[in-house]
A and B are shown apart, each in its own frame.
Chain A
Amino acid sequence: MCFRRAWLVALLFALGFALSGTSAEAASLDEALAHFTADDFSETVEGINEVAAGGSPRAEIILRALQNDQLMFSAERKAVYIMDDAGKLTDAASGRPVVGAAPADLDNVRINNRLRGAIEAVLGGLTLLASDPGARFAAAQAVFKSRAAGTLPTLETAIAKEQDPRVKRALMEARAAVILSVADAKDEDKLAAVDIIRQRGDQDALGLLSSLPAGTSPRVMKAASAAIAAVNNRLIVWSVVQNAWYGISLGSVLLLAAIGLAITFGVMGVINMAHGEMVMLGAYVTFVVQEAIRTKNPELFDYSLAIAIPLSFLVAGGIGMLIERCLIRFLYGRPLETLLATWGLSLILQQAVRTLFGPNNREVGNPSWMSGAFDLGGITVTYNRLWIICFALAVFAALLALLRFTRFGLEMRAVTQNRAMAASMGIRTSRVDALTFGLGSGIAGMAGVALSQIDNVSPNLGQGYIVDSFMVVVFGGVGNLWGTLVGSFVLGIANKFLEPYAGAVLGKIAILVLIILFIQKRPRGLFALKGRAVEA
């Protein structure tokens, strides 16, 4: 009997020993959780830090619940629970469901914005060791921002283990940020940290370096101010590159919108105020194509633009030829009346689209190969902008080839230069007019496909571009496509470089004034036709 009892006690002891690791952990977690039952913000902060420092596998679940207002406590039972979306309670420490009635005084653990920040920071520290590199990278970024001193040991472990160079870099930067904000770190460590931050070289780095805590040694301060200067220089260079990139992007859009206008104006001297509506029609063709694909076979979605481009060319071009045959050919020689008639037409087209598709913006999606972005040095290049630049240049090249190498192009150039002479050489000028107008409108339609990727598709889409395209044509001069190319890129880049100094609106006004002054010098644009054609 005695023997048996002794054996039992020994067994229990052994069991106790085996379990002691987990029970010690559980005990610390329980202690940490006890802070949450105090219903006091500063106690809750203690709790958050202790839960995170305890290293329990439950820590993340508990903190996420706290973040989502799902962490409950009962002051009476001194217990903390997690309530899921369905309202079921589980014990926070063990994760076991609560059996029996819920405690009567169940209440949320309240948090405020300061606590949310603390939770973010602590969670960032916890996910530093996650298995997914993306999550680790995001966590490193979060720590870089929060600079929570408590994450330093975790960071060291994470850096030692990290294989991915990109994540490792982010982790190093995060560690540097933490070291710089800790007052008692060694100067050598801080200098190394300043160096790492300097290499990061963006706006965040600048913010970090210029807000070093008081009590930082002069040596570190000096290194930091040198780093700030270096980062500033780098940022200036990249902002120039960025503006140039945005300018080229805007220029390509202007090129697409203006090139059709330049053709019709150059050949026929006709100002087509409905040109913007052709762009708008092209965008709506894209919308219709995508709708059809969505309902019929969604797997074709990535090819929607490949279908929409030729279709919009045909639709807009067809409508353009119809307009020329039914309206504009009766108004030749009366350019001002043509302007008014096409303005009326643009009102009708806009209202027709508004009646058919509704006045609101329509959703046009990006195919997968056009969405996303990549980093190039200090700037972010989005794929849709990149593709639109390529597309604009391709359209330009194709048009140039058409004018240079085909019979139709030859006839078009002949009519542009001297209509009467071209007619007497046997060119059917009226046919050339109709085809030219169709071509110009068709290109506008294709521009609409491109614009649907970066702008809102609404009945007013064309209106936003019409004045700008006219400016391009006036600036570049008619009768020469190179004028349109140079004009659109010059205006695009000038616009984007003026914007940071003058603001978007004043920049635009400045451009308009500059153009008005420019045509003082060259009333017929950059690349003017010379000779008799000028007065025609």
Chain B
Amino acid sequence: MTHILIRSLDRGATIFLIVVAAIAIAVPVLNLALPDSAALHVPTYLVSLFGKYACYALLALSIDLVWGFCGILSLGHGAFFALGGYAMGMYLMRQIGTRGVYADPLLPDFMVFLNWKHLPVYWYGFQHFPYAALMVVLVPGVLAFVFGWFAFRSRVSGVYLSIITQALTFALMLGFFRNNFGFGGNNGLTDFKDILGFNVEAKTTRAALFSVSCVAIMLGFLLCRAVITSKFGKVLIAIRDAEARTRFLGYRVESYKLLVFTLSACMAGIAGALYVPQVGIINPSEFAPANSIEAVIWVAVGGRGTLTGAVLGAVLVNYAKTFFTTGALAPYWLFMLGGLFIAVTLLLPRGVVGTLRHWTAPWRDRASAAAEDGVTEPLPAE
């Protein structure tokens, strides 16, 4: 165990973990301990906002794991994120109990509204947190496993895979928009009251959720580091750089891809589960293909294949989004976002962190660093 930890932690990773841990402690303390008038006081709405960013960062990590290290560009990770979110949302719905508008002890409000008499079977068990937590990981994981098993086995790769993953999230979006699907249709799940007995609206709960999200980032980051520094990770990078050669060397490429894809989907599910109590709603628009592509651009901005870059990119882009969409510049946000897609792919293919690493690396090491960062010249054989 220790040797995996030591192997995973280089200097950059340690610094990153320390920074995240510091934020995880500082933000709640500055929110709860200081009076509202203090200069360093962090308002509660900012805590929720940062918590949202933290969940996005975890999603970005999961995308970076498959895209940056295995070359699988999934345009459907938003689906895994949203499924995890729905699993958590179902738990939170069951916690409302008789406090709903219709005060039905068993059925959530929207089911009473739709005149349903019985709780659908797939809602059973969600009143127990451990079961819901299991489903948060299991549902996206199983979907990714089944989907990946079909896709990778028949060697669907490259842009084909991207398009199919996009179709997957699109199909799920259409399904969840239907009322008779049993997940609240258009309105999704909302009006949550409490989580594990704590009021979701309370300041302390919000601060705790933020800290938990940061811890999730740290654990996710450690997991990714452990994966990519292992022998398994080396094979993943080999697959990314020369899939055919790796296969000819005797590795079962599809098994490697399947495992990392499933792992990444589970991470995305956890990110979604942490996201829902902090924003207070989950609805089918989370499945929109545009969301998944946007998540990919966070990774591209930060630098694919850098992990820290993915986290940084998610926070940066989302901060920019919050900043621009709330002011007078709102009509121009989509121009900015679109420009960002183009500028990053054209001018900054390594992303922010990747480029920094490239510059700071000694000249001699740059060629090998480039290979580590995942930016290589396209090989004629691929």
Contacts and interface: CB of A to CB of B under 8 A. Distances in A.
Interface of A: 269, 271, 327, 330-331, 333-341, 343-348, 350-352, 355, 467, 470-471, 474, 505-506, 508-509, 512-513, 515-517, 519-521, 523, 535
A515 B167 contact: yes
A432 B337 CA distance: 31
A336 B167 contact: no
A351 B338 contact: yes
A345 B341 CA distance: 8
Contacts of A346: 338
A344 B333 CA distance: 12
Interface stretch (B8-16, B42-50, B130-138, B170-178): B170-178
A343 B167 contact: no
Given A343-B293, A508-B174, A520-B153, 4 more contacts: A331-B346, A347-B334, A348-B335, A467-B166
Rank and list the top 3 A-B pairs by shortest CB-CB distance, nearest first: A344-B341, A347-B338, A348-B338
Given A520-B150, A523-B160, A351 B378 contact: no
B164 A519 contact: yes
Given A335-B158, A519-B164, A520-B154, A341 B342 contact: yes
A340 B296 contact: yes
A350 B334 contact: yes
A512 B154 contact: no
Which DSSP category, helix, strand, loop or mixed, fits chain A's interface? helix
A355 B331 contact: yes
A334 B378 contact: yes
A341 B346 contact: yes
Interface of B: 73, 147, 150-151, 153-156, 158-160, 162-164, 166-168, 170-171, 174-175, 177-178, 244, 289, 293, 296-297, 300, 331-332, 334-335, 337-342, 344-346, 349, 378, 381-382
A474 B163 contact: yes
Nearest to A332: B378
Contacts of A335: 158-159
B240 to A, nearest CB: 11
Contact of B293 (A340, A508, A516, A520): A340
A294 B335 CA distance: 32
A11 B374 CA distance: 118
Given A467-B289, A512-B168, A331 B345 contact: yes
27 contacts: A331-B345, A331-B346, A334-B345, A337-B349, A339-B73, A339-B159, A340-B344, A341-B342, A341-B346, A344-B339, A344-B342, A345-B342, A346-B338, A348-B335, A348-B342, A351-B335, A467-B167, A470-B163, A505-B174, A506-B175, A512-B168, A516-B147, A516-B150, A519-B160, A521-B154, A523-B155, A535-B381
A348 B334 contact: yes
A512 B170 CA distance: 9
B329 to A, nearest CB: 12
A336 B378 CA distance: 12
Q: Which of A269, A330, A336, A509 has the most CB of B within 10 A?
A: A336
Contacts of A523: 154-156, 160
A271 B159 contact: yes
A505 B342 contact: no
Contact of A470 (B166, B168, B175, B332): B166
Contact of B297 (A334, A340, A508): A340
Contacts of B175: 505-506, 509
Given A331-B345, A341-B341, A348-B339, A513 B158 contact: no
Nearest to A512: B171
